[in-house]
Chain A
């Protein structure tokens, strides 16, 4: 959380909405551990990361949707995954990311 606090404060200071994505589960090996965070602003900025860069784009899109609907979402990413997301983690792990709007 520490690494995204400064950006969140800056965005909130400008009156923007913020969504927070957190790695809540890691199956196999993944670049970032449980607790890794990425914050996204309604103005389209991002800070932090939830992987080695491979799923950040998709998480950014989901974060924008979460900001629009106000409803949190749990998303799973991984090579063996059958979801529509065409993103695989380079090291073959699976991660679950929880994306929620900040109060």
Chain B
């Protein structure tokens, strides 16, 4: 299997992978490749010391899903390497097969997200109402969520029913999900926070919750509310990406 076949296979199987290429340097090295797997393993042999550095940097880039160029010293002089990382499409889990959920699914699919809908109520979560979701899951949120959530997952809790909302919010807040939001007015959100506090959820965990959900764009219709939710999720994703990029050491950010 050559580098292109391996990258294609990883993309198809939704596995993360990094690819490094010499883009500036001695003619003989131009276009040389390294493939780096998520466990830091991989292949590509140009020069032992360089191989080690490239693998290390590519692995770090892969952890934060960043692509870019680095300058590295080599026995042949300074060379420039482009590291590209492929990370699976981010995941949006919608809890509650509501009208806002339908609109949110459409917007998320336009943005190439994988969308999962969780709702134990079969009358709400039907394939007819949600033709675009990747998976319909008829289960209680606290049972379904833990297995579905990755660090690239956003959770939007939209049922408006504390029986479903509260367990979903608790499960999501205690997961690696990068975003958790819950629908409801300021009053509803304040009452929810009170209930969660009484259940012993610590303040620093509650601070992760986006409620009322969505950016304040004066949204009124279900579609506008869905837009405000997706905008908030994208904003949070960008903020975290910036923070992760800033955490990469200076020498690797050339």
Contact = CB atoms under 8 A, between A and B. Distances in A.
B7 A74 contact: no
A24 B81 CA distance: 9
Given A1-B11, A35-B67, A103-B2, A98 B21 contact: yes
A7 B68 CA distance: 25
A25 interface: yes
B91 to A, nearest CB: 16
B24 interface: yes
A5 B31 contact: no
A22 B82 contact: yes
A2 B69 contact: no
A72 B69 contact: no
Interface in A1-31: 1-2, 5, 22, 24-25
Contacts of A72: 23, 30-31
A22 B84 contact: yes
Nearest to A97: B23
B8 interface: yes
Given A1-B86, A2-B11, A100 B4 contact: no
A12 to B, nearest CB: 10
B43 interface: no
Interface in B108-129: none
Interface in B53-102: 67-69, 82, 84, 86
A34 B23 contact: no
Chain A interface, DSSP helix/strand/loop, else mixed: mixed
Contacts of A68: none
Chain B interface, DSSP helix/strand/loop, else mixed: mixed
Interface string B2-43: 111001100100000000010110010011000000000000
A24 B68 CA distance: 6
A103 B139 CA distance: 46
Interface string A64-103: 0000000110100000000000000000000010101011
Nearest to A12: B4
Nearest to A35: B67
B23 A74 contact: yes
B176 to A, nearest CB: 24
Contacts of A25: 68-69, 82
Nearest to A102: B4
Contacts of A71: 27, 30-31
B169 to A, nearest CB: 33
Interface of A: 1-2, 5, 22, 24-25, 34-35, 71-72, 74, 96, 98, 100, 102-103
Q: Which 7 A-B pairs have the closest CB atoms?
A: A72-B31, A24-B82, A103-B2, A35-B67, A98-B23, A100-B31, A74-B23
12 contacts: A1-B8, A1-B11, A2-B11, A24-B82, A34-B68, A71-B27, A72-B31, A74-B30, A98-B23, A98-B82, A102-B4, A103-B3
